[in-house]
Amino acid sequence: MSTQRTDSPRGSLAEHVPGFRGYLFELGYSVSAARKHLQLLADLSRWLEREGISADELATASTEGFFRRRRAQGRANLRTPRALDPLLAYLRALGMIEAPPRQVLTDPVEVFIDGYHGYLTGERRLVEGTARFYLHVARLFVSERRGGEGIDWASLRAVDVTGFTTRVCGVRGVSSARQVVSALRCLMRYLRLEGVTGLALDEAVLSVAGSNPSLPRGISSAAVRALLGSCDRRRPIGRRDYAILMLLCRLGLRGGEVVGLTLDDIDWRAGEIVVAGKGGRRDRLPLPVDVGAALVDYLRQDRPRAWGRAVFVRQFAPIRGLAGTGAIRSVLARACHRAGIPYANPHRLRHTLASEMLAAGVSLGDIGQVLGHRGSVVTATYAKVDLEALRMVARCWPEVAA
């Protein structure tokens, strides 16, 4: 193993050692981890010099030979090209190297899916999780239309749509089948919008028969208290997770809404928070005192000030915004395990809040506004929760004379 000092390498990357060191510390790397990456920079700089490769060619040059040599030397860490991600990100921020070129798609199915993805996230403004499911359904449908020279749209008829619906939905439950139907209708409208077909094939998508008789499932108030109490607020990660759980439990935010929350969305003077919901909606909600206090504790003590605008970031290097709703589900899963209760996803916490508000006499319209529902039909589901109120307005079943 080389004993050359990492703060004085030679080669085209030598001048970037001080800046890269500071960049690593901003990302939350420990002194030991930063030293390993600086040693990697030194080794790479010498290798580039021997190979006659300039630093600005690093983004496109193959470094497999460099890492093959590291593995042969018995290096215990940073042994694959992925180890260069922090260095490449730093050099891109300096403008030394360009972002990796966008992959050129040649497969007709993937070309279509790529355009459809842009429509879902750009025009429809679907969250990434929903868009991912819609793309899954679209890929299944389009793959069946693949022909020898591309995708066969010319012969697409209503019978093809209904046949696909019955095949895919036949093995699913009611809720899952309805999601497939919604995704398929969206795809059919997109095909007409793009001029692929002039037929209104969305009307050929069969509706799913059946209903879900169960009430919205929440968790008990005691379980909510146990969930919040499970966070060790003496530790940075405990304060962060507590603030996340408060947003889920007290405001009923969706996981994606928590991930997308930025520092600019919190109006401390007005005591309000702006939530970026489904379909590009931006709703202003009152910020309860206890939720605001949890956010202040995390922001003042634990969140790195120099990093971006996202409210919630990773606690370990590389420090960056949470990757997606999976991170929120992980926070919830750990809290449920500590509290000794079954796992409850963010939607169950929304149901819990709605049920508590309904029991306190809050109107369905106000509940829908807090939860960010686009229509009253979704909110009306919660009317089933208040069984006592329903019994008061229910008419008695007439007795049949013997």
- Is residue 77 located within the same domain as residue 114? no
The answer to whether residues 68 and 47 touch, using CB atoms and an 8 Å cutoff, is no
Give the pLDDT confidence score for residue 399 in this predicted structure: 57
- Is residue 264 located within the same domain as residue 298? yes
Is 231 within the bounds of a domain?
Answer: yes
Is 9 within the bounds of a domain?
Answer: no
- Is residue 252 located within the same domain as residue 327? yes
Rounded CA-CA distance 342/307 in Å is: 35
Is 280 within the bounds of a domain?
Answer: yes
Give the pLDDT confidence score for residue 373 in this predicted structure: 55
Rounded CA-CA distance 382/252 in Å is: 14
Give the pLDDT confidence score for residue 396 in this predicted structure: 55
Residues 6+ apart with CB under 8 A from 298: 239, 240, 242, 243
User: Could you give the residue numbers annotated as active site?
Assistant: 254, 278, 347, 350, 373, 382
Neighbours of 333 (CB within 10 A): 13
> Which one of 170, 204, 238 terminates a domain?
204
* Residue 318, preceding peptide bond in cis (omega within 30° of 0): yes
Of 189, 183, 157, whose CA–CA distance to 168 is shortest?
Answer: 183
Give the pLDDT confidence score for residue 192 in this predicted structure: 93
Q: How many helices (H) and strands (E) does the chain have?
A: 17, 5
Is 74 within the bounds of a domain?
Answer: yes
Of 305, 288, 291, 314, whose CA–CA distance to 236 is shortest?
Answer: 314
Give the pLDDT confidence score for residue 367 in this predicted structure: 67
- Is residue 116 located within the same domain as residue 89? no
Rounded CA-CA distance 287/275 in Å is: 11
Is 24 within the bounds of a domain?
Answer: yes
Neighbours of 280 (CB within 10 A): 10
Is 142 within the bounds of a domain?
Answer: yes
- Is residue 229 located within the same domain as residue 339? yes
- Is residue 338 located within the same domain as residue 230? yes
Give the pLDDT confidence score for residue 357 in this predicted structure: 76
Q: List average pLDDT for each run of 10 residues in the chain, which is 402 residues long.
A: 51 88 89 92 90 81 87 89 90 82 78 93 84 94 85 92 90 86 94 92 84 66 94 94 94 89 93 81 87 95 81 88 88 95 89 78 66 54 50 51 51
- Is residue 186 located within the same domain as residue 235? no
Is 379 within the bounds of a domain?
Answer: no
Task: Write the CATH number for 316.
Answer: 1.10.443.10
Rounded CA-CA distance 350/367 in Å is: 10
> Which one of 204, 236, 251 terminates a domain?
204
Is 27 within the bounds of a domain?
Answer: yes
> Which one of 44, 64, 94 terminates a domain?
94
Task: Write the CATH number for 176.
Answer: 1.10.150
- Is residue 84 located within the same domain as residue 112? no
- Is residue 180 located within the same domain as residue 121? yes
- Structure tokens belonging to residue 44: 């790479």
- Is residue 180 located within the same domain as residue 267? no
> How many separate domains does the chain show?
3
Query: 122 is in which domain, residue-wise?
Result: 108-204
- Is residue 248 located within the same domain as residue 150? no
- Is residue 333 located within the same domain as residue 243? yes
Phi, psi of 204 (to 5 degrees): -90, -5
DSSP three-state, residue 65: helix
The answer to whether residues 287 and 275 touch, using CB atoms and an 8 Å cutoff, is no
Phi, psi of 48 (to 5 degrees): -60, -40
